[in-house]
Amino acid sequence: MAYKNFSTEQLQALDAAHHLHPFTDHAALRADGVRVVTEADGHYIQDSEGKRILDAMAGLWCVNVGYGREELAKVAYEQMSELAYYNSFFKSTVPTTTLLASRIAELAPAHMNQVFFGSSGSESNDTAIRTVRHFWALQGKPEKHVIISRHDAYHGSTIAAVSMGGMGAMQGQLGPMLPGFVHVMAPYDFELAEPGESREDFGRRAAEAVEDAILSAGPENVAAFVGEPIQGAGGVKIPPETYWPEIQRICRKYDVLLMLDEVITGFGRTGEWFAAQAMGIEPDTITVAKGITSGYQPLSAVIVGDRMAEVLEQGGEYYHGYTYSGHPVAAAVALENINIIEREGLIDRVRDHTGPYLTQRLAEIIGEHPLVGEVRGFGLLAAIEIVRDRETRERFEPAGHAASMIRDYSIQHGMMMRAVGDTMIFSPPLTWTQETIDDAAEIVRLALDDAAIDLFE
Ligand SMILES: Cc1ncc(COP(=O)(O)O)c(C=O)c1O
């Protein structure tokens, strides 16, 4: 491969000179030197210096079937050789795209049968926003446009996705936000529950905040409520079991659509194809990306429920779409990726074995560690809250410092995990085994021990 003629130092110098990275402090990156990742296989990535790192984040929550799958490379090659590109405008389609739409409809909740494709999660959330507003306009209710979201929600990086998301730092850099988005509290009992308030009561209170927001905007103005079933980039915030049933009830009561962002939770991560099924939610739209191709190709989709689809189908031309909506190569890879997930029984394995085992094992190994305030998990998503004081849940100052330190020690010990504020997060490939989880938990313990020496000295 072309890069093999370049040394690590040469690549780092070129990168520093020319590459603007996403979500990066460039001065800090240039001071440290970028890590050049050159290959990956199974559960491990490897850098240009030959260091192998266990990837507890599945890339960016996406490599669900693990790295190095020849089957996916093969179908991409075959599709590119046969038909590299054609669009789905002009009353056309390509076979793989049609077959993928029909396959997704089979896997999705029974009332969801139509699929609109994009290339990224952000793009598909833009599609979802436009589509719910278009639906209400077609019903003669264009004023029904407000979308209620939550603090700490991550829906992507486009202007609409940042406005709909709940990330203060991103919104601070956006300038004027798009109008029509209202934000309510996240269902994050670890920090937001009142003293003595049960998790169940907290879940109902967090849902009530949505009802209050609907009433204050006026139900006649509210198009939808949007949420990640489990807030991912916001810190793997898992709502109490009382939360989603209440949200569902409230949305129905006020005829507000329910939009789920399953960009992380879709395609097996929660132990079902979709978290909607794992949590008993009946949404009107589901946005997916990432695990749909396990990151082997950029692809995303909005799965649309029958109620909306029936109106859209009768609504004349919908002026919306992307050059790469339903890209044939991405669709071919997605179809084979779904085959792999099914053939290897990965979803049952996450639901019945590795999902519960990840949380249980982390709790056993580090649950009583002086730095750990809580271990929580759902499927193959897990989080560890880092605190200075386990009783009072006081954090270290400055915010995020302790968790970044633990992340850096973890990488030194050979595992990539991520820090969000003061929360350590896990989202490994669905192919992890009990042995991989044992190894990972041991590395977390080592990283916590190292950090404790620095933090408590
Ligand atoms: C829940 C959620 N929605 C949307 C996105 C945006 O996806 P993309 O980065 O592909 O635009 C992400 C990305 O992490 C995500 O986690």
Closest CA to 104 of 331, 271, 308: 331
Residues 336-347 have pLDDT tens digits of: 999 999 999 999
150 SS3 class = strand
C-alpha 418/C-alpha 404 separation (Å) is 8
Q: Is 105 within 8 Å of 113 (Cβ atoms)?
A: yes
Q: Where are the alpha helices (DSSP H) in 114-265?
A: 121-138, 159-164, 168-172, 189-192, 199-217, 243-253
Model confidence at 50, pLDDT cuts 50, 70, 90, reads very high
Chain-centroid distance of CA 178 in Å reads 22
Q: Is 4 within 8 Å of 36 (Cβ atoms)?
A: no
pTM of the model: 0.98
Residues 149-177 have pLDDT tens digits of: 999 999 999 999 999 999 999 999 999 99
Query: With 90 as the cut, is the pLDDT of residue 229 above it?
Result: yes
Q: Which of 23, 155, 287, 425 to mutate to test the pocket of ligand 1 (most atoms within 8 A of CB)?
A: 155
Q: Whose CA is nearest to atom 13 of ligand 1?
A: 156
Query: Ligand 1 pocket by C-beta < 6 Å: which residues?
Result: 60, 120-122, 125, 154-156, 228, 232-233, 261, 263-264, 289
Residues 239-288 have pLDDT tens digits of: 999 999 999 999 999 999 999 999 999 999 999 999 999 999 999 999 99
Closest CA to 381 of 301, 285, 278: 278
H or E element at residue 338:
helix 328-343
Residue range 301-319: mean pLDDT, rounded: 97
Residue 349: per-residue pLDDT: 98
Q: Whose CA is nearest to atom 3 of ligand 1?
A: 155
Name the residue type at position 38. T
Do strands 285-288 and 418-420 pair parallel, antiparallel, or not at all (unpaired)? unpaired
Ligand 1 closest atom vs CA 120: 10
Residue whose tokens read 């927001």: 213
Residue 337 neighbours by CB distance under 10 Å: 25
C-alpha 245/C-alpha 270 separation (Å) is 17
How many Å lie between the centroid of ligand 1 and the Cα of residue 361? 28
Residue 376: per-residue pLDDT: 98
Q: Whose CA is nearest to atom 7 of ligand 1?
A: 121
C-alpha 223/C-alpha 130 separation (Å) is 11
Query: With 90 as the cut, is the pLDDT of residue 57 above it?
Result: yes
The residue ranges of every structural domain in the chain are 35-65+345-456, 71-343
Residues 192-207 have pLDDT tens digits of: 999 999 999 999 999 9
Q: Is 181 within 8 Å of 147 (Cβ atoms)?
A: yes
C-alpha 331/C-alpha 79 separation (Å) is 9
What length is written for the chain? Answer: 457
How many Å lie between the centroid of ligand 1 and the Cα of residue 5? 34
Handedness of CA 212, 169, 63, 443 (dihedral sign): negative
Residue 392: per-residue pLDDT: 95
How many Å lie between the centroid of ligand 1 and the Cα of residue 155? 5
Residue range 142-154: mean pLDDT, rounded: 98
Residue whose tokens read 């595992």: 415
Residue range 431-456: mean pLDDT, rounded: 98
Residue 3: per-residue pLDDT: 79
401 SS3 class = helix
CATH topology of domain 71-343: Aspartate Aminotransferase; domain 2 (3.40.640)
How many Å lie between the centroid of ligand 1 and the Cα of residue 382? 18
Ligand 1 closest atom vs CA 233: 16
Residue 366: per-residue pLDDT: 98
C-alpha 304/C-alpha 293 separation (Å) is 19
What is the maximal distance between C-alpha atoms in the chain? 68
- Based on its alpha-carbon atoms, the radius of gyration of the chain, rounded to whole angstroms, reads 22
Model confidence at 37, pLDDT cuts 50, 70, 90, reads very high
How many Å lie between the centroid of ligand 1 and the Cα of residue 409? 27
Ligand 1 closest atom vs CA 125: 4
Q: Whose CA is nearest to atom 4 of ligand 1?
A: 155
Residue range 325-345: mean pLDDT, rounded: 98
Residue 457: per-residue pLDDT: 79
Residue 180 neighbours by CB distance under 10 Å: 17
Ramachandran area for residue 433 (φ above 0: left; ψ -120 to 50: alpha; else beta): beta
C-alpha 121/C-alpha 391 separation (Å) is 38
Residue 4: per-residue pLDDT: 82
Q: CA-CA distances (angstroms) from residue 247 to 189, 241, 243, 403? A: 16, 11, 6, 32
Q: Identify whether 398 is preceded by a cis peptide bond (ω within 30 of 0).
A: yes
Query: With 80 as the cut, is the pLDDT of residue 106 above it?
Result: yes
CATH topology of domain 35-65+345-456: Aspartate Aminotransferase, domain 1 (3.90.1150)
